[in-house]
Amino acid sequence: MNKYYSWLILAALIIVVAILPKPLVISPTASVIVTILLGIALVWVLVLTIRGHLIGRRVVFLFIGASLTLPFFMNFEMPIKVSPEVKILYDALAKLPPGSKVLAAFDYDPPSAPELQPQADAFMAYAFKHDLKVIIMGLWPQGPQQANMSIDKVLQYPEIRAKNPKYGVDYVNLGFQSGNEFVIQRMGSSFRGMFPRDIYNTDYDKIPLLNGVENFSNIDFVFNLSSGYPGTVEWVQIAVDRYGVKVGAGNTAVQAPSVYPYLSSRKLTGLAGGMSGAWQFEQATQQPGKASTYVLPQTFSHTVVIAFIIIGNAALMVSYRRSKRGEA
Amino acid sequence: MKREIPLIITFVAGVAFVLQYFIPHYPFNRFENIFSDWFAIVGAFAIWLGALSLMKLCLLNISKKSHDWPISLLIIISFLSIVIAGAIDGFHGLNSVPATSFRDPGTNFDWFYQNVYTPLSSTMFAILAFFVASASYRAFRARNTAATLLLVSAFFVMIGRVPLGDYLSGWLPERMQFSQWANWLMAFPNTAGQRAVMIGIALGTVSTSLRIILGIERSHLEG
């Protein structure tokens, strides 16, 4: 019978999800009650640990699962404070006059999309609203596809639909090019050399937006969304260092710490790091999107991880105490 | 000659590539473009090589009925499905007016990308959250001073990077709030550590590159 339990639970979950009204958002009071219950459960785990009953990893998984899923249905107002890195990025974008040419490098794939896609959406929406001309490319094969998803989404916004941005005039997708940092290096002398055609197989010279765009000297700003290699580090080392172009970046939380040296040396013009960076970027550009929803589960999960670190250290203290008693 | 020719090619290419960086005049300035084009072409061939190598490995697994051969079969089916879908959409797009791309919303390739590739790869990545939490519980312990410092830093960064940090420390002066602590930790101790790592990697890269260019390091020619 035991082996059927997981299937029964799964079936019950599917039925519950199908029955519940959508979108399901519980009231602030109910949200507070759920949060308090979660907190009490964590305190109970702490008490158990102090008493010497160590919990298994399945309990940790259960708490993480609950802390990641329950907040999606909660209704909390979170205080927002835009970090200095995100403010620098936003200020750099805000300084660009209408008609400025921005190169958007999409160097990530779907696993990093929860953190980077909201940044991409916020950026594309901001660019279209402020009449920035966007040239899209990718050093990762999946990058241009992610860009298409973002464009497809923001074109549904009424304000942007009213502006009716046109492909080839207001934005263009040059697609993926293999060669990692050498692509950036070659673009320093000729964009056409690396991207002779766009994703629709249109010749570079026949795309109106690319008239007069030879190399980085014709680009006003580079916005790089990156989750690894090749990515922001390569853009800074080649595009910024050798060709003097301004580069701002959106990074995953894992990668963000490694580009901080470029921020303090002002090689990197702003950084939105991870989910919180995406949330702050959405707030700064006034394009609330998925990051504004995702930040609450992240807050809960961070809190649960901190709680388990405390519980783990309580377990360590208990074991020390026991070993001392044993010695005595 | 099997060893000498690759060594000569490595030496000439390596020296030329270093020279073009420092001498921005003809003919050295042409090298950069030529080498960059070569690298892109070699990179494109490497993608094919990787795909064919994967196919060969999977076909071998299936023919030998080795352990987990159904997974190899699944890889081949998945690979061919998305390649065929992309190819059909690509050819269709070339012939349609205006031209469309296989990446466009609504294509077969896009269906695979959105409904198969994206959820599967996101799921694999999302599972990390559970393992990170479990590992933090079991391994993140204040056993000594260094571990305690790491623990305290992690606490401030984790709490300071989410709105809860400022919510809890809102009663403190602004520069004492958790988000400011997190910003300080990232901007100073983290930057210092990252710089040390970067400088170390750069020195290591220079010394290894010199050894390869001068033919002292030859391990890449083996195997």
Which of B29-33, B63-67, B140-144, B173-177 is predicted with the least confidence, judged by mean pLDDT?
Answer: B29-33
- Using an 8 Å CB-CB cutoff, list chain B residues near A87: none
- Mean of all residue pLDDT scores within chain B: 89
pLDDT digits (tens, 9 = 90+) for A62-88: 999 999 999 988 888 887 889 999 999
- Using an 8 Å CB-CB cutoff, list chain B residues near A297: none
N- to C-terminal Cα separation, chain B: 16
Helix (H, G, I), strand (E, B) or coil at B141: coil
Is A318 an interface residue toward B (CB < 8 Å)? no
Average pLDDT over residues A304-326: 88
**Could you tell me if A284 and A87 are in contact, meaning their C-beta atoms sit under 8 angstroms apart?**
yes
CA distances from A210 to A171, A175, A197, B33 (A): 10, 14, 11, 20
Percent of chain A predicted with pLDDT > 90: 73
pLDDT digits (tens, 9 = 90+) for A105-134: 999 999 999 999 999 999 999 999 999 999
In a 10 Å sphere around its CB, with 0-12 CB exposed, 13-18 middle and 19+ buried, how is residue A276 labelled?
buried
Confidence of residue A3 (pLDDT cuts 50, 70, 90): low
* Residue given tokens 């997981």 in the structure block: A6
- Using an 8 Å CB-CB cutoff, list chain A residues near B86: none
Minimum distance, in Å, between the CA of residue B150 and any CA atom of chain A: 12
Q: What is the pTM of this model?
A: 0.89
Nearest CB neighbour to B158, from listed A109, A142, A306: A306
- Using an 8 Å CB-CB cutoff, list chain B residues near A199: 101, 103
ipTM given for this complex? 0.85
Average pLDDT over residues B114-136: 89
N- to C-terminal Cα separation, chain A: 48
Is A52 an interface residue toward B (CB < 8 Å)? no
Strand order across the beta sheet in which A221-226 lies:
A171-176, A133-138, A101-107, A221-226, A247-251, A268-273
Q: Where are chain A's structural domains? A: 2-77+293-327, 84-288
| Domain A84-288, CATH class in plain words | alpha beta
B117·A258 Cβ contact <8 A: no
pLDDT digits (tens, 9 = 90+) for A162-189: 999 999 999 999 999 988 888 999 999 8
Q: What is the pLDDT of residue A15?
A: 86
Minimum distance, in Å, between the CA of residue A132 and any CA atom of chain B: 22
